[in-house]
Structure 1
Amino acid sequence: MLLRHLPRDSAVARELHGEAAEWSVSDYLLATAVDQLAEANWMFATVNQDEHADALEYPVPVRRPGEVDTGVEDAGPGQTSEEGREMPDSTVLHRFFG
């Protein structure tokens, strides 16, 4: 019973849950907001860049606790995300945002 009420950053919680014990729900929500903002900025910059410019690099998401770094970047334009959605390329973004 006493173990259940230990602080989130206690040694027992870190041993049981690893790095995730240090992240609260607010931390996960903030990381998601940062990822969405980076993606929106990437879309804006892609749509507004010169047509002959090189494609901009897709933003790398904030690493969450417990994720293993595989060295493979997340899906970018022209690739398929984990959810099965095709990521937009500059042509699709130009058509959408006009």
Structure 2
Amino acid sequence: MQLTTSSLKTPRQWRAVLGCDAHHFADLLILFRAAYRSLFHSQMAERVAHNPQIERISSEEEQLFFTLFSCKSGLTYDVLGHVCGMDIATAKRLQ
């Protein structure tokens, strides 16, 4: 994925891109990882290791970032896929 949390430098950028600051993102990530593990009975890294070519997003952090970014930005799947470096179908499936 082309966009990452490391590209966000200021609290204003965090809020503009994701709708929350780094601290709240970290808190939400803890809950997101637990929910993901509960739903899929494994971590995303384990699932990607078994089938690496199917996923463009390789961690719970990237998945949460993508989900928050797509909800906050309101982009179409065409634009969202372009911005995040994936095709339209993948952008729609991962949202």
| TM-score, reference length from structure 2 | 0.27
Q: Which has the higher helix share?
A: 2
* Higher RCO structure, 1 or 2 (CA under 8 Å, sep 6+): 2
| TM-score, reference length from structure 1 | 0.26
Larger radius of gyration: 1
